[in-house]
Chains A and B, each alone.
Chain A
Amino acid sequence: MQTSEMTPHTADASDDLPLLRVSNATKYYGDRIGCKDVNFELYPGEVLAIVGESGSGKTTLLNCLSTRLAPTSGVIEYRNRVGAMRNLYEMNEAERRMLMRTDWGFVHQHASDGLRMSVSAGANVGERLMAIGARHYGDIRATAIDWLDRVEIAEDRIDDDPRAFSGGMRQRLQIARNLVTNPRLVFMDEPTGGLDVSVQARLLDLIRGLVSDLGLSVIIVTHDLAVARLLSDRTLVMRRGHVIETGLTDQVLDDPQEAYTQLLVSSILQP
């Protein structure tokens, strides 16, 4: 097993340097803009929310950042574990895929996109370990049990298929599956979408706990400003493919400067 991939992220001097740097990221779909001239830096341990209405380019941007979709132009750099800043799209595919399954996580909106629905919960959690060379069944299973416990899934469900799980459980399983290799950066695409409010609240609580325990950096895409408020340190507001406002989450949500952000904030229903 490549133990270097497994060490949890610890605070060190490189915490002062950005983990991810996005410079003029632009994606065109033909003539149409997906996202245009996006610039930001993400620091270790930081949670960044990307908010905006449907079609504003949030998911396009997330896909560009997570190497799932090549941008038309612009540079996206990531600081790897040895401290070198690498342009993601100049890395070869093997390196990118290695990143995706060790140093990074991706939590999909629909758990069925992120899980193997036909294999047991334990194997779902263990897959990444086996992918980086774990070959001891007992150890893999013990790690899987530990992670299921951390996302509040009972140990006796370890051999059940995710198909037998509720929506909330599937989402928690997906998180466990991603975090098992102790990634440094996790992308989340509407992780609470499609869940009812009480389940959402528990999931958000869990994510918040894990993020602070593990010192994760997270980029979370959401249309739900409450999710942004609860989880994120900084928020980036997108509209028609452009970033129109950015700042500390509380600042952006409490004192929005842009007319569109004001509209977005004021459109939240108050129960």
Chain B
Amino acid sequence: MTGQDTDMFSEHYNFAYLDEQTKRMIRRAILKAIAVPGYQVPFASREMPMPYGWGTGGVQVTAAVIGSDDVLKMIDQGSDDTTNAVALRGFFIKTTGVKATTKTSQATIIQTRHRIPEEPLTENQTLVYQVPIPEPLRKLEPRETETRKMHALEEYGLMHVKLYEDIAKYGEIATTYAYPVLVNDRYVMDPSPIPKFDNPKMHEMAALQLFGAGREKRIYAVPPYTKVESLDFQDYPFEIQRFEEPCALCGAENVYLDEVILDDKGGRMYVCSDSDYCEERREQGHLGHMAANPIAEPENSGPRA
């Protein structure tokens, strides 16, 4: 079987792999999740043809909401071309035959692992997160019976114990990803392992945000235009990561950058983690100091090396 074959639509599967009853079951969970923002709705997660940890929760959510006229974008750590993204994109092309894209603006469904795209999303889009551990209190309170009660009674003091520990140990809130948020002034939610840099994007987002945890069998959601607040202390307010330099390829500032090690002599570069955003900027002529494109004339490029 060649690589191309795996990306071809196959008639052998029901649309989007899951059977219709399963999709209905998942849709019911999604509707409930949307009705109670931030609340973890249990659902009968199915065994998927990929291992847990590969996004079985996100895949099931996407399979339940996708239609034949949807345009799908699949990202992993902000990138369209890493293993997880390629594998899951291939899965949906094969089982649904929908159009796939890497362009954020053209997608109607974006399934993501670890990032929110830099480009603001719109009301016509749905963002599906792959979630490993949906319970934000899990590491502090191992008993599920107890954490459910804590959510039910809004007993979230423990979450601040975690942040207190961070400050006591590291002098600042050292949590940098999966940073807990309060949704709609009610439920504390784990935003999945996105960097805290992305947390402010969740607040009042125009797009619908759906979260699927396959192994843990939970679905939760943030409806469009919902208040999402990152937890903090009055004297240690929430802060996002800051980067000293712009993207080395496209010169973008105020975006989330990945550090890429270039050699074993300390050489490194910082590039956009959102690969589509970076490419689009370069097409528009923005160049960073390592873009290595001598022909294009930079207009708004960042500082040159």
Contact = CB atoms under 8 A, between A and B. Distances in A.
A164 interface: no
A27 interface: no
A120 B168 contact: yes
Given A127-B158, A131-B158, A137 B153 contact: no
Contact of B168 (A128, A129, A159): A159
Contact of B165 (A93, A123, A131, A135): A123
Contacts of A120: 165, 168-169
Contacts of B46: none
Contacts, number: 56
Interface string A123-145: 10011111110011110110000
Nearest to A122: B168
B157 A137 contact: no
Contact of A130 (B149, B157, B167): B157
A94 interface: yes
A65 B215 CA distance: 40
A119 interface: yes
Interface string B138-158: 001000000001000101011
A116 interface: yes
A171 B236 CA distance: 31
A116 B164 CA distance: 14
A233 to B, nearest CB: 33
Q: Quick one: which of A119, A123, A129, A131 has the most chain B CB within 10 A?
A: A123
A71 B233 CA distance: 41
Interface in B52-97: none
Given A132-B157, A135-B234, A137-B233, A159 B164 contact: no
Interface residues of B, number: 19
Contact of A135 (B140, B167, B169, B233): B233
A131 B157 contact: yes
Given A127-B157, A131-B155, A131-B157, A137 B165 contact: no
Contacts of B140: 116, 119
B161 A126 contact: yes
A119 B234 contact: no
Interface in B158-200: 158, 160-162, 164-165, 167-169
A248 to B, nearest CB: 40
Nearest to A96: B153
Nearest to A129: B157
B233 to A, nearest CB: 4
A113 B232 CA distance: 28
B160 A135 contact: yes
Contacts of B161: 116, 119, 123, 126-127, 130
Contact of A94 (B153, B169, B232): B153
A120 B170 CA distance: 13
B263 interface: no
B299 interface: no
Q: Quick one: which of A126, A137, A138 has the most chain B CB within 10 A?
A: A137
A81 interface: no
Contacts of B158: 127, 130-131
B157 A128 contact: yes
Contact of B160 (A93, A94, A97, A130): A130
A137 B235 CA distance: 6
A158 B149 CA distance: 29
A131 B158 CA distance: 7
Given A137-B235, A137-B236, A159-B169, A123 B153 contact: no
B155 A97 contact: yes
A123 B235 CA distance: 16
B153 A138 contact: no
A138 B165 contact: no
A101 B165 CA distance: 20
Contacts of A123: 161, 164-165, 168
Nearest to A93: B153
Contacts of B155: 97, 131
A141 B235 CA distance: 12
Nearest to B159: A130
A158 B169 CA distance: 11
Contacts of A101: 157
Contacts of B157: 101, 127-132
Contacts of A140: 164
A102 to B, nearest CB: 11
Given A131-B158, A132-B157, A135-B160, A119 B165 contact: yes
Contacts of A141: 168
Interface of A: 93-94, 97, 101, 116, 119-120, 122-123, 126-132, 135-138, 140-141, 158-159
Q: Please give me the 10 A-B residue pairs with the lowest Cβ-Cβ distance, nearest first.
A: A131-B157, A130-B160, A130-B157, A137-B233, A136-B234, A94-B153, A123-B164, A123-B161, A159-B168, A138-B235
9 contacts: A93-B149, A93-B153, A97-B155, A119-B140, A120-B165, A135-B233, A136-B235, A137-B164, A137-B167
Given A127-B158, A127-B161, A138-B235, 10 more contacts: A119-B165, A120-B168, A123-B161, A123-B168, A128-B157, A131-B157, A137-B233, A140-B164, A158-B168, A159-B168
